[in-house]
Amino acid sequence: MIRKLRSGEYRIYSRKKDPKTGKRRNLGTFKTKEAAEKHEREIQYFKYHH
């Protein structure tokens, strides 16, 4: 899931909460929404094709 930060950047969070912290994991911060969406698709791909 992608969220926009106050600074105008986009951050990808894991879909599930981390059991240790109870928060979502930060999977990377990007300057543009396009870059964040592209990376999120790559993450989904690697989940099933590693």
Domain ranges of the chain: 2-48
Q: Percentage of the chain with pLDDT > 90?
A: 82
Predicted pLDDT at 32: 97
Per-residue pLDDT averaged across 21-29, rounded?
A: 95
Check residues 38 and 44 and name the one with the higher pLDDT: 38
pLDDT band at 47 (very low <50, low <70, confident <90, very high): confident
Distance separating alpha carbons of residues 45 and 43, to the nearest angstrom: 5
Exposed (0-12), middle (13-18) or buried (19+): which is 44, by Cβ within 10 Å? Answer: exposed
Q: End-to-end alpha-carbon separation of the chain, Å?
A: 21
The residue length of the chain stands at 50
For 1-50, list the strands marked E by DSSP.
Answer: 2-4, 10-17, 24-30
For the cut 80, the answer to whether the pLDDT of residue 50 exceeds it is: no
